[in-house]
Amino acid sequence: MSDVEVTIKLPSELLARARAIDLSLEDQAEAIREAVERQIQQGEAATRLLRTAEQFDTLPDQMKPNLEEIVIAARQARAEIAAEAKSFDNQHPR
């Protein structure tokens, strides 16, 4: 995969505040990449959730899960997401 250079425009006030605390924005590439990765993960999760909801709508009523089953599945999904996030954080320490 090849890299792409991105130019980010920031308000001058924000740049001045960063400079005031000696924050080098050039050194923030990894933090920006991580933020983008998290946004992508959230967007992908939202897309999966929407697809799942659409699939539920197509099921006959007797096959649709009840509230308890949905809650259990949501908890399982949260645990999986938390494990993925922990793995990502371990692979990309700050």
Tens place of pLDDT for every residue, the chain, 94 residues?
A: 788 888 889 999 999 999 999 998 888 888 888 999 999 999 999 999 899 889 988 999 999 889 999 899 999 999 999 998 888 778 877 6
Asked if 45 contacts 81 with a C-beta cutoff of 8 angstroms, the reply is yes
Angle, CA 26 vertex, CA 22 and CA 30 arms, to 5° = 110
Q: What is the pTM of this model?
A: 0.57
The Cα-based distances of 70 to 7, 12, 48, 67, 84 in angstroms read: 43, 48, 15, 5, 21
